[in-house]
Structure 1
Amino acid sequence: MSERTCAEIQRTEREHDDPVGGLWNGAVEAALRHYRAFLRQPGHYLDLCFEVSPHPESSLVNVANARDLLEEALRVLPLPARAELGRLVSSLDAEFRRRTLPDPHAYRRFWRGSGWWHQRLYDGEFRW
């Protein structure tokens, strides 16, 4: 990403600092790192996994949480930075959709988030 976009992301993270439910300093970089690491795993299909710690960055092990954080950043960033980050996230999303399977029972799981990325199969769930 451009230096300008990186600076806008850092400014936005400082302005919207909320480690419990939102951004924090370095949040976007951490979310992108976890998203990319998830997609670099071997195998044709990948399963999402649950986080094991409530610490903000530990929650990003669940790549759906990382994607939530990126969605929040896209919501609050100014337009030029949003567009550049959006292009990067869109390419990761395409790979995510290709390498994960939809959960046909996601609508029954009250704990799932509303984003499409929460509607994928998690490790240990039934595969059809």
Structure 2
Amino acid sequence: MSLHRAERLSGDHVIFPGVTDLALRRYRAFLQPVGRRPLYPRDAQCPCRGCSPDDVRHARDVLDDIMPQRPVRARSELSRHVARLDSVPRTRTLPDPSAHCRQWHPERWWRRRLSGGSESG
């Protein structure tokens, strides 16, 4: 099944055609400031499904949600690519000790990181 078809046929309201590319571009943009300063995800300004990937945590949710809907080979390729990207925020974001009380999907590591303010640190 092609990516476009998986996105189109998904029953998830946040998955739509083109959202995987949008989420990958957003995730890469979040990781762009090179350096050692901490990164802080910011909330999306608009909650609609087209704008919500502005919140890099939502973009990462989309990537996690689309993976099981991909064929094995494509899933493995996307999974490896996302794992390489994940290495940056794992080291440049800070743990949020209260995330389990505030966050949707607190079991996802990227939802347990401090957020707010400027993403550039």
TM-score band w.r.t. shorter chain:
0.7 to 0.9
Q: CA RMSD in A?
A: 1.7
Q: Give the structure 1 partner of residue 2 of structure 2.
A: 8
TM-score, scaled relative to structure 2:
0.86
TM-score, scaled relative to structure 1:
0.81
Deviation of the 1:54 alpha carbon: 1.8
The answer to whether residue 46 in structure 2 is matched with residue 56 in structure 1 is no
Paired with 1:22 and 1:57, the residues of 2 have a C-alpha distance of: 8
- Tell me if structure 2 keeps the 8 A contact 1:112–1:119: no
Deviation of the 1:96 alpha carbon: 1.4
Q: Give the structure 2 partner of residue 23 of structure 1.
A: 15
The answer to whether residue 10 in structure 2 is matched with residue 41 in structure 1 is no
Paired with 2:52 and 2:19, the residues of 1 have a C-alpha distance of: 11
Q: Give the structure 2 partner of residue 3 of structure 1.
A: none
Superposed, 1:92-111 pairs within 5 Å as 92-109=85-102, 111=103
Corresponding letter in the other structure for 1:77: R
Deviation of the 1:29 alpha carbon: 0.1
Structure with the greater relative contact order (CA < 8 A, sep ≥ 6): 1 or 2? 2
Displacement over 6 Å in runs of 4+: none
Provide, for residues 29-48 of structure 1, a one-character-per-residue CA deviation record: whole Å limited to 9, x for no partner.
00000000001035521001
Deviation of the 1:51 alpha carbon: 1.0
**Which of residues 68, 74, 77 in structure 1 aligns to 2:67?**
74
Deviation of the 1:56 alpha carbon: 1.5
Unpaired runs of 5+ in structure 1?
A: 1-6
Corresponding letter in the other structure for 2:6: T
Closer/same/farther in 2, CA of residues 41 and 86 from structure 1, 3 Å limit: same
